[in-house]
Amino acid sequence: MQQRIVVKIGSSSLTSENGGLNVDKIRFFADELASLLASGYQTLLVTSGAVAAGFTSLGYKTRPKALHEKQAAAAVGQALLMQSYHEAFAANGIGVAQILLTRYDFSNRKRVNNAQMTIDELLQRGVIPIINENDTVSVDELKFGDNDTLSALVANLVKAGRLLIITDMDGLYTDDPRKNASAQRIDRVDLISDELMRMAGGSGSAVGTGGMRSKIEAARIAMRGGVPVFVGRVVEPGDLSLALGSSGKGTYFDTALSNLSMKKQWVGFHSPTAGTIIVDRGAEAALLSGGKSLLPAGVKEVAGDFHPGDVIEVASLSGETLGRGVVNYAAWQLQAAAGLSTDEVRKRVEVARIEVIHRDEWVTIK
């Protein structure tokens, strides 16, 4: 199968400073993406820009704040955005297709499977899927984070060879380079630490919603799914190909992990969770680095009303989320078994499997 590349372009890269589409920018990115397609890559585009494209047409002087105003702007802007993409890609002899998604689509296994099959068919036909959040019907305050998280979920879904997140900054810096001239760019990252997250600032654009922090969070999701990530600028012809290589204008996030199965993607990133359990340090080490299942002896606290087969979150003693897994106990059973040895659990609780979460149904997201 041809290698798949997911490219995410933010609002600030597509619009003018005060909002409204910049047609020249869209033509530029269409040309860059066409070059990837000509090089043999199956290319998907995750785009922002619907709200930014539409709010000026509705007479707003600045990007609206209220949800219904954003949704109205998106309803107008999405049509303008797709029309511009259609015209720009048609000049390169390439067809495009619109796919609008919400968080609910990813939380429903049937819907996300249908989305995957649609994407597969479009790519086989040489069409570029253009994916955006369905802002007009979203009721979650458009929380995909300028589509950064959406792009990571899509990259995992299609088992992409790389995710390229294009923004107006040339990568991650040790401090804000607009305020600190001595700030240094970080060229490569192989572990997203708490210190790294603190370096990420807020949004730098009046027309966008995502900052560097949301891009690092997206990189964390993609890396956990086995997809390496580039975050940086594409401003000159050929920059996108350079970003796909190793000399792009930005930061590379590397991963040695393999692609997750569809089931583990659903468990780790898409499924709703029914509860949370807190584990001790020994259980934390067993889950994160020991490749082991979670046993009742390592459970300290239980919260929520879950049942066998539900997906639950697992947290450390400090409250940090470690990952998610399919639980084999009901909440009341686990409360009775927490902290007990395997032999004691067998005497007190009747369960189909002794493991609280089996390692084959566990996904680390730390």
> What whole-number distance in Å separates Cα of residue 78 and Cα of residue 131?
11
Residue 334's pLDDT is what? 97
Rounded to 5, what percent of the chain is helix, strand, coil?
A: 40, 20, 40
Residue 46, pLDDT > 90, answer yes
For the segment 273-318, what is each residue's pLDDT rounded down to a tens digit?
999 999 999 999 999 988 999 999 999 999 999 999 999 999 999 9
For the segment 52-71, what is each residue's pLDDT rounded down to a tens digit?
889 988 989 888 888 889 88
Q: pLDDT > 90: what percent of the chain?
A: 65
Name 159's Cβ contacts closer than 8 Å, sequence gap at least 6. Answer: 4, 226, 227, 259
> What whole-number distance in Å separates Cα of residue 45 and Cα of residue 7?
5
Residue 300's pLDDT is what? 97
Residue 140's pLDDT is what? 55
Residue 147 per-residue DSSP state: T
| Mean pLDDT computed over 328-342 | 96
The count of other CB atoms within 10 Å of the CB of residue 268 is 21
Q: Which fold has domain 273-364?
A: 2.30.130
> What whole-number distance in Å separates Cα of residue 336 and Cα of residue 340?
9
For the segment 118-135, what is each residue's pLDDT rounded down to a tens digit?
999 999 999 999 999 887
146-176 as b/e, with b when 16 or more CB fall inside 10 Å?
Answer: bbbbbbbbbbbbbbbbbbbbbbebbbbbeee
- The domain ranges of the chain are 4-263, 273-364
131, 117 Cβ separation under 8 angstroms = no
Handedness of CA 77, 81, 82, 83 (dihedral sign): positive
For the segment 151-203, what is each residue's pLDDT rounded down to a tens digit?
999 999 999 999 999 998 899 988 878 788 888 999 999 988 878 877 775 44
**Bigger pLDDT: 107 or 34?**
34
Residue 320, pLDDT > 50, answer yes
For the segment 225-250, what is each residue's pLDDT rounded down to a tens digit?
999 999 999 999 999 999 999 899 99
What six digits make up the tokens of 17? 């400073």
Same fold, 4-263 and 273-364: no
> What whole-number distance in Å separates Cα of residue 338 and Cα of residue 353?
15
What six digits make up the tokens of 217? 């969070």
Residue 205, pLDDT > 50, answer no
Residue 210's pLDDT is what? 47
Residue 15 per-residue DSSP state: B
Residue 144's pLDDT is what? 64
> What whole-number distance in Å separates Cα of residue 74 and Cα of residue 66?
12
What Cα–Cα distance (Å) separates residue 282 from each residue in 212, 218, 293, 295, 315? 34, 29, 12, 11, 13
CATH number of the structural domain 4-263:
3.40.1160.10
